Structure 1
Amino acid sequence: MTSPQNRPPVIERFYAHLDEQIAAGLTPEQKAGVENAILASTLASRHQIDIRRSFPFFSKRFYLVFLFGRDLRRQHRQESTLSRILLTFLLLIAVLFVTCCVLLTLYMIKSALGIDVFQNFHVGIWDWWLNQKNH
């Protein structure tokens, strides 16, 4: 059993909700067993960062939880096929967006330097940009 000063917040919350007479009737072995069971089931003591806050917002209370730490579970959760498809789609969109931004930036640099890759062929983005700049 951990000392009351060194107990994790989840254990403190447990004892705050437990009836005082029941808590007083527990033996040290029982308290240690209950605390170990709570810690094993919640993994609360194993997070390097454990931030739990609640705040009022338009006459209701909301909560924010931020946990960070190594994944210590024995079995990893199975991802659904839909989540994999969505993740792939979002990744594809992000890669396409970044690629287009890089190509546009390179084109603008090329145009600003006056480099013609193909004679008498211009996409027109540089001219449009200059017209927008002048207005």
Structure 2
Amino acid sequence: MSQNQLRKNSVKHDPFVHKLFTNIPPETAAKFTNTQLTELKRVLTNRVAKYHAVDIRLSIPFLKQRFYVVLLIGKERVLKNASEYKIFTQRNSVLFVASFLLTIISLINAFNILKNASTNEKHLDHQIQALQQLFHNKL
């Protein structure tokens, strides 16, 4: 028996295929051919089992649930258009200018509020002194 025939006969007994079948209804899983299963395994294994220079996986308990954080760093293997890598697009420029203007307007308003508060405080101090003088003069 050749290696190829042996592989085709043992595909349905492969642990990867068994795990894949746990997420597929049995009637659908029964319809896969050995060739389809072999190709599915090849494609999914190539997609999942990539080498990364940094592969840090943490599971963090929070309240009564667990969350996970994954940090993967490695060479980019997916070819993309150069436009997808551009940071200075028209949309980003508009968002940056709008954020900058909103920050400036907020700072100006904050300074005006502080200025008015100090002016009102001085005005109140002056009125209190005038009332104190009136009170002392009447006594």
Give TM-score, length-normalised by structure 2: 0.37
Larger radius of gyration: 2
Whose helix fraction is larger, Structure 1's or Structure 2's?
2
